[in-house]
Structure 1
């Protein structure tokens, strides 16, 4: 009975009423609050005012998420796919179970990096991955996954075209600009930074061609970048529209 009740409360698919179950609403609120605390804690002036409070709140969040994680593992047995020891092991390697585990791990990994400021910053940032857990409760995320799966070949083609264009534009700028700007265009790998900034239409301006031929190729690259950005955008827009339409029909 307890396992069935937990499964009904924790699994969005098992909740037959409109919206989320009360337990999942609390979980969503905790995820948002924990992420907000993780963001605020990165500000040194605020962290120095009350370092113990942030540490205590993180301990509370980790304890609550750990209890929730164990409850989900236990309740997974209500699903025929995850019954028994073998089923539980299969559940532990599912995408959402791994994301739940990642929400807890940075706290414990932080003990291994007490004297390493860089690793501590990395583990603080990893706590923001808890926000990805909200995808379990949203149909939009499942629609996005369905859209990506349905158009994976078209998206891979657009990525391949973008990669070829990046390489070609880098090679052209290397050929015409290397003699005048060896620091910025002295090799194809160095020129890739300029190509990425130009093709994505960001255009930082920290590296720019100065020769007439270089400016000509830069113009072609900039114009081509518009199409490169539009191609996967159009593919994803059409796929998402189809996925949401299918959800509504179902």
Structure 2
């Protein structure tokens, strides 16, 4: 028998078995444990359910289905949250009452709780704007999939290491946004006060131009304004590509380190 099978099949206490199956780093085999695999599928289903529920015709055809399905998801996620809270005691950092409170302040524990709270608040409520907003927060459940992937943590670490370069690029883009908005306000403000009558109004045009979206709902009409618009568009191509290149390099480095770590672990085995 595979040693990993013997380890998983050993006679552990309930808390040890829960920790083994719910904590991704504790699972001795490659991939997800059966419990976490089921949870991942349930997360995707819950997000899909939240998306489909926004369609009024579907709610009208099956008014009870969404209520019962959401109640079942709430029950399963609440049970999972309590199980994770109980199993966290296997980690020496989270033992005892104070340890559990410390665990509840960790990032993934907060994400787990946020996946439950909107359903508790919106259960049986009316279709108001606030209620729709709270229901949309259920889509945050998709972020829970991040705990099951080591690649996400590696990428987050890589982005953190490149934070200085990203801040510089975003800062340069922000300065160009303000500068181009101020120039168009000066040149076009008199001709088109509704669109360029102030720097905040002109900022919408700058965002659409610098991101190369170009909606076309607001355009300069003067010769100087069009020249400035062309300069802004050309500058936007380079500034948008700059953080994209930094992120692409960070992702590549992170995945390369993760692959090297996996290969070293396989050689040790």
- TM-score scaled to structure 2, two decimals? 0.90
Root mean square deviation of aligned Cα: 1.1
> SS state of the match for residue 13, structure 1?
helix
* Aligned position for 2:146: 135
* Aligned position for 1:235: 246
* Aligned position for 1:85: 97
> SS state of the match for residue 29, structure 2?
coil
Moved more, 133-142 or 18-27: 133-142
In the alignment, which of 27, 37, 61 is matched to residue 15 of structure 1?
A: 27
Q: Note the residue ranges of structure 2 that are not aligned, 5 or more in a row.
A: 1-12, 262-269
Larger-Rg structure: 2
In 2 relative to 1, CA 115–52 (structure 1 residues): closer, same or farther, beyond 3 Å?
A: closer
Per the TM alignment, residue 116 of structure 1 is displaced from its structure 2 partner at its CA by 5.7
1:189 and 2:189 matched? no
| 4+ long deviations beyond 2 Å | 113-116
1:98 and 2:110 matched? yes
Per the TM alignment, residue 95 of structure 1 is displaced from its structure 2 partner at its CA by 0.8
* Aligned position for 1:171: 182
In the alignment, which of 43, 49, 74 is matched to residue 55 of structure 2?
A: 43
1:152 and 2:175 matched? no
Q: Structure 1 CA distance, aligned partners of 2:172 and 2:102?
A: 37
CA contact (8 A) 2:151 2:258 kept: no
Number of equivalenced pairs: 249
In the alignment, which of 112, 116, 119 is matched to residue 107 of structure 1?
A: 119
Per the TM alignment, residue 153 of structure 1 is displaced from its structure 2 partner at its CA by 0.8
In the alignment, which of 132, 152, 170 is matched to residue 121 of structure 1?
A: 132
Q: Structure 1 CA distance, aligned partners of 2:122 and 2:173?
A: 38
Q: Note the residue ranges of structure 1 that are not aligned, 5 or more in a row.
A: none
CA contact (8 A) 2:187 2:224 kept: yes
Per the TM alignment, residue 140 of structure 1 is displaced from its structure 2 partner at its CA by 2.2
Per the TM alignment, residue 139 of structure 1 is displaced from its structure 2 partner at its CA by 2.0
Show CA shifts across 1:176-229 (max 9, x none).
Answer: 000000000000001110000100000111111000010011001111111111
Q: Structure 1 CA distance, aligned partners of 2:73 and 2:170?
A: 39
> SS state of the match for residue 20, structure 2?
helix
Q: Structure 1 CA distance, aligned partners of 2:228 and 2:46?
A: 48
